[in-house]
Amino acid sequence: MVRADAARAPASATGPAALPRPAYAPGDVALLALLGVVWGIAYVFIRQGIVLGASPLIFAAARYALSAAAFAAIALARREPRPRTHDLSISAVVGGVLVIGLYGGFLYWGEQYTAGGYASVLSTTAPILTVVVAYFLLPHEHLGGRALLGILLGFVGAVVLVLPSLGRGPEGSWQGPVFIIAAFVSAAFGTVLLRRFGRGRQGLWQIGAQFAVAALLLGGAASVLPVPERFPFREGIWFSLAALVALSSLVGYFTYFALHHRVGPVRANSVAYLLPLVGIAVGSGVYGEPVTGWELAGCGIVLVGMTILVRGSKPSGS
Q: What are phi and psi of 154, to 5 degrees?
A: -60, -40
- How far CA 137 is from CA of 20, 142, 145, 291, in Å, comes to 15, 10, 19, 41
Question: Which residues, 6 or more positions from 6, have their beta carbon under 8 angstroms from its beta carbon?
Answer: 14, 199, 200
Residue 102, CA distances (Å) to 23, 99, 108, 123, 252 in order: 29, 7, 10, 15, 18
Average pLDDT, the chain: 81
Count other C-beta atoms under 10 Å from residue 85's C-beta: 8
Confidence band of 95 (pLDDT split at 50, 70, 90): very high
Sequence-ordered list of residues with C-beta below 8 angstroms from that of 73, at least 6 positions apart, any chain:
none
Cβ neighbours, 10 Å, residue 200:
14
The band of 292, judged by pLDDT with boundaries at 50, 70 and 90, is confident
Assess contact for 64 and 92: CB atoms under 8 A.
Answer: no
Residue range 118-140, pLDDT digits in tens = 666 677 788 888 988 988 888 77
| Contact (CB, 8 A) for 57 and 216 | no
Task: Return the DSSP state at 272.
Answer: G
User: Rounded to an integer, what distance in angstroms lies between the CA atom of residue 120 and that of residue 107?
Assistant: 11
pLDDT at 317: 39
Highest mean pLDDT among 109-118, 228-237, 306-315: 228-237
Residue 174 has phi, psi (to 5 degrees) of: -65, -20
Is residue 134 within 8 Å of residue 142, measured between CB atoms? yes
Helix, strand, coil share (%) of the chain residues, nearest 5: 75, 0, 25
- pTM for the complete prediction? 0.80
The rounded distance, in Å, linking the Cα atoms of 43 and 171 is 19
Check residue 61 and give its pLDDT: 94
Query: Which amino acid, one-letter code, is at 173?
Result: S
Higher pLDDT, 284 or 169: 284
Q: d(Cα 73, Cα 50) in Å, to the nearest integer?
A: 28
**Hey, which bits of the chain come out as E strands?**
none
Query: Mean pLDDT across the stretch 198-214?
Result: 91
Q: What is the pLDDT of residues 237-258, one digit of tens each?
A: 999 999 999 999 999 999 999 9
Closest to 244 (Cα-Cα) out of 33, 44, 74, 102: 44
* 188-192 average pLDDT score: 94
- Please compute Rg for the chain using Cα positions: 19
Domain spans of the chain, in order of start: 24-311
